A and B are shown apart, each in its own frame.
Chain A
Amino acid sequence: MPAVSKGDGMRGLAVFISDIRNCKSKEAEIKRINKELANIRSKFKGDKALDGYSKKKYVCKLLFIFLLGHDIDFGHMEAVNLLSSNKYTEKQIGYLFISVLVNSNSELIRLINNAIKNDLASRNPTFMCLALHCIANVGSREMGEAFAADIPRILVAGDSMDSVKQSAALCLLRLYKASPDLVPMGEWTARVVHLLNDQHMGVVTAAVSLITCLCKKNPDDFKTCISLAVSRLSRIVSSASTDLQDYTYYFVPAPWLSVKLLRLLQCYPPPEDAAVKGRLVECLETVLNKAQEPPKSKKVQHSNAKNAILFETISLIIHYDSEPNLLVRACNQLGQFLQHRETNLRYLALESMCTLASSEFSHEAVKTHIDTVINALKTERDVSVRQRAADLLYAMCDRSNAKQIVSEMLRYLETADYAIREEIVLKVAILAEKYAVDYSWYVDTILNLIRIAGDYVSEEVWYRVLQIVTNRDDVQGYAAKTVFEALQAPACHENMVKVGGYILGEFGNLIAGDPRSSPPVQFSLLHSKFHLCSVATRALLLSTYIKFINLFPETKATIQGVLRAGSQLRNADVELQQRAVEYLTLSSVASTDVLATVLEEMPPFPERESSILAKLKRKKGPGAASALDDSRRDTSNSDINGGVEPTPSTVSTPSPSADLLGLRAAPSPAAPPVPVGGNLLVDVFSDGPTAQPSLGPTPEEAFLSELEPPAPESPMALLADPAPAADPGPEDIGPPIPEADELLNKFVCKNSGVLFENQLLQIGVKSEFRQNLGRMYLFYGNKTSVQFQNFSPTVVHPGDLQTQLAVQTKRVAAQVDGGAQVQQVLNIECLRDFLTPPLLSVRFRYGGTAQSLTLKLPVTINKFFQPTEMAAQDFFQRWKQLSLPLQEAQKIFKANHPMDAEVTKAKLLGFGSALLDNVDPNPENFVGAGIIQTKALQVGCLLRLEPNVQAQMYRLTLRTSKEPVSRHLCELLAQQF
């Protein structure tokens, strides 16, 4: 090959590289490098102008030093000078340096862009390609701004050389991915699609990548590419292995192009045109047929290229999910690979089969491979392959094979790599619940999980077993017996103590008849674990003890003794101390009847989506659990195995409501905020319609409330006393005041403040939200000295909002004295996602004139955010799962406020999402995640905010599982910066 190429043009560089290689130690290397850096610096600073060759040589040395891992802080200017050299090789090194060491120095960027502009205009294809490569390599926004409009022209120009078209296509792709807003759509897009017909295979190969990306963003505009892609693919697939000359790779015609075309087709549903569809199906069949033919070469390259196309074909078949025949054939093909001697193929087959398992057409076919997959889980030496096997077992699980799969996974768990244990635990827990025929098996499985991998059993898992046991009385006795036995083990995991403590506290009576598990035995067994447990567990056990006093009066004296002990009553931990004090008092002052009512068995939890499933979805993205969500396969079991609501309350469950001691907590704005979520807070003695357990309030309120006079209007009563239906209809009230939107925006990221103020009236707001519930206090202050009359604030739901958001209001006094303030309490429940806030209409008479005012109530969908913490990997996985074009909303906007990272952080937290550190590779960026809780559904949301301080701009990207929500959140949040 060419002798000129060997770099002997730069002897000095070769000598320097040799020197470095000969260095015996790191120190010697650093010394040699520093010497060279000093030398280069002096040459660059010297008076004598350097010739192009020397400049090139030194720039190249700097590049080498940089690639060794050292920082380079000079030489950029010299590299930029090389760009305008008329010697190709100098120009080329200049571009290489710029590509590798981009520096956002604005002065330089201008010079670089100038040089690129000249080269693009040079009409010399070699120069043009160099310039295009540089843009594609750097891909910065500045370059996008300078060139995004020119490149489409170069791409579709009739006189562009093929090589230039290729570079232009991929260069444009890079710019479009980096800053889609900068690439103008236009007449060129139609012509780009026709590049699929280009005679030059290289041009097609490059163009398909660009077209695929454009299709993903604007599927409708590029629909014409389907038939072109199909006919191109068909020509390749049916061509003889030598037809395509240099584009044939180890007897496989154009494998890269084929894979890209199959990828492109996956942007769309199956072709509507019957002829096109027929042709495509023929292609897919041909590929499947070819897989059965003897190989044309023994080389691995041949089989890899062939199988690359085969796997991509199977992906497309799965994507269509409409051709049972093809799906089953695909499954059989993958089945062959499961036993292939190539590890790579086994790995890919397991991975691909996972998606096949969720199709109703191929689920049964996948199941036939269960033994092979279990064998893989046991025998594969590579952990990544075993992980795939575990994923596949999870995906192929149904009622018929659940016991087998769960027991294999439990066995695998004992030796599984630590990194994947938690995931396996979640999967086992979900399968056990989903496919439980009898619940004793379910309870056994979960207790086994805790025994084998207690550290990896997250809260969701053990909360869940409690919820299920609570809801199903046929399993309660068995559960009590089993946990009692499990607790006998000398060392048992703390999670076991929690589960055991809770279950015995609720259902210990069911096994108390047996003298081996009599009440004192149960108590002493639990109490023997007490001292080794964490605060949270001890708090739970204290609640168990008070429940025991109710269940087993004979234990009262012993337990009171324990509660009275100094180690409890004077415990340094405030929660433990408080529980001890309150439980002790409760057990002494309350009559047996009251005690029995307070400490009654927990009522069933409302049925909701499984919290573990939600957790797995959070871990793995929404697709991960899809196999199980799939109601097509398991419609019969929905009522038996349906979910129950995840409530955080189980932790402190049997704690009695504060109000039992006689007084209700008064809602005073000065007092600590009452936990929201009205229906969790109901007073057991109230005769309201909601017979909910008494859970939420922390005991401290009880004592505080004794000191305060009972408020005339307890918020509790509001639930039983909804505002009369005298609200004016939306047509009766005026349009919102012009500033309403601005006022609303102030409250997107915060929950309290002044909502409105004029000369007469001030409206303050204070609100709290939890899950899908919220409570809002509105304070109406009369700023005048004259009484307002007929004062009537009402909440109106415009449009469909009534079905999306329920707001209950309490009527307030019709007169507001001068200088006085009245308070109105609103209970809010988010039923489903909503886009417009409710309206607040305030009317009153002041000095004889009617005043009316309509505002937007500061309730926006983000208030129902529940922050979700997740690791980078999970975040990205989830992010990718939400990649449908409509699931993403993006806004690029100018900063309206100073760009302070701390302020931004606070705003994002106020917005409601969790802020995730160490997720975005760029530490300047913010990444957040959360779930919007509504009664009907949960919407997972991911967000990313990229500040660009130099440009004073932000880019905000939202991805959610529900399309209008993405856009709405994006708009809400973009207003805040």
Chain B
Amino acid sequence: MMQFMLLFSRQGKLRLQKWYVPLSDKEKKKITRELVQTVLARKPKMCSFLEWRDLKIVYKRYASLYFCCAIEDQDNELITLEIIHRYVELLDKYFGSVCELDIIFNFEKAYFILDEFLLGGEVQETSKKNVLKAIEQADLLQEVPMGRTK
């Protein structure tokens, strides 16, 4: 199970954080600081996986953004890399050539998309079509008041 996912910039600014395990704010900040530092210090050709505490960190850089996931010992590193990639694809399809700014200004959308894709740290739906359909349906409901009976 994925324990958390962090998105941060080259400059170390946190852009999105999703925690699938209950932790105190203090601990979250500490982990974030530590991991941002560790990952940014790594050189481009290095391996995308590292052991950290009792977890495995899987990360990948897309343009100016780092996507960094913490998974458990028995989880599969390569498939996690592709979780990251599929999430990037979903963002890209939704925003149209997604860039860091889209995620900054529409962070709530980034969360909604992530919730459709991953839930409780597990993959819920891998089909790009199905995830985006769910988000678009929600977008169509944007300002329309809904009755209980729809």
Contacts and interface: CB of A to CB of B under 8 A. Distances in A.
A189 interface: no
Contacts of B108: 7, 60, 63, 92-93, 96
B50 to A, nearest CB: 5
Contact of B14 (A6, A69, A174): A69
Contact of B24 (A137, A305, A876, A921): A921
A21 B25 CA distance: 24
Interface string B72-88: 11101111011101100
Contacts of B144: 87-88
A206 B119 contact: yes
Contacts of B142: 4, 9, 88-89
Contacts of A684: none
A205 B85 contact: no
A34 interface: no
Nearest to B26: A923
Interface string A114-144: 0000000010101101001100110110000
Contacts of B79: 255-256, 259, 304-305, 308, 312
A167 interface: yes
Contacts of A381: 43, 45-46
Contacts of B20: 174
Nearest to B109: A5
A54 to B, nearest CB: 14
Given A64-B107, A163-B134, A170 B129 contact: no
Contact of B46 (A2, A9, A382, A387): A382
B143 to A, nearest CB: 7
A87 B78 contact: no
Interface residues of B, number: 74
Contacts of A9: 142-143
A17 B74 CA distance: 40
Contacts of A69: 14, 29
Contacts of B128: 246
A136 B81 contact: no
Contacts of B93: 1
Nearest to B54: A876
A945 interface: no
Interface string B119-145: 111111111111000111111111111
A205 B74 contact: no
Interface residues of A, number: 88
A166 B125 contact: yes
Contacts of A880: 54, 72-73
Given A9-B143, A87-B146, A256-B79, A171 B120 contact: yes
Contact of B139 (A4, A133, A178): A4
A5 B49 CA distance: 34
B127 A308 contact: no
Contact of A1 (B51, B96, B125): B96
B111 interface: yes
Interface in B100-126: 104-109, 111-112, 115, 119-126
A67 interface: yes
Contact of A202 (B82, B104, B130, B140): B130
Contacts of A923: 24
Contacts of A263: 74, 76
A433 B25 CA distance: 47
B82 A2 contact: no
Interface string B16-56: 11001011110101000000000000010111111101100
A877 B126 CA distance: 30
A478 interface: no
B49 A21 contact: no
The majority secondary structure among interface residues of chain B is mixed
A521 B32 CA distance: 59
A347 interface: yes
A92 B112 contact: yes
Contacts of B45: 343, 381-382
Which among A99, A259, A877 has the highest number of chain B CB atoms within 10 Å?
A: A259
A311 interface: yes
A344 B48 contact: yes
Nearest to A178: B22
Contacts of A7: 105-106, 108-109
B62 interface: no
Nearest to B141: A88
B111 A96 contact: yes
A815 to B, nearest CB: 62
A384 B51 contact: yes
A873 B137 CA distance: 44
B29 to A, nearest CB: 7
Contacts of B94: 1, 5
B135 to A, nearest CB: 8
A206 B120 CA distance: 10
A266 B75 CA distance: 12
Contact of A86 (B17, B126, B136, B145): B145
Interface string A358-383: 00000000000000000000000110
A679 interface: no
Contacts of B147: 86
A127 B149 CA distance: 11
Contacts of A876: 53-54
A569 B125 CA distance: 77
Contact of A312 (B43, B76, B124): B76
Contacts of A2: 136, 139
B14 to A, nearest CB: 7
A312 B77 CA distance: 10
Nearest to A878: B54
A88 B82 contact: no
Interface in A865-897: 872-873, 875-877, 879-880
11 contacts: A1-B96, A4-B142, A17-B105, A126-B138, A139-B120, A205-B124, A246-B127, A263-B76, A348-B78, A381-B43, A872-B54
7 smallest CB-CB distances across A and B, nearest first, come from A876-B54, A308-B78, A174-B120, A308-B79, A88-B141, A246-B127, A170-B119
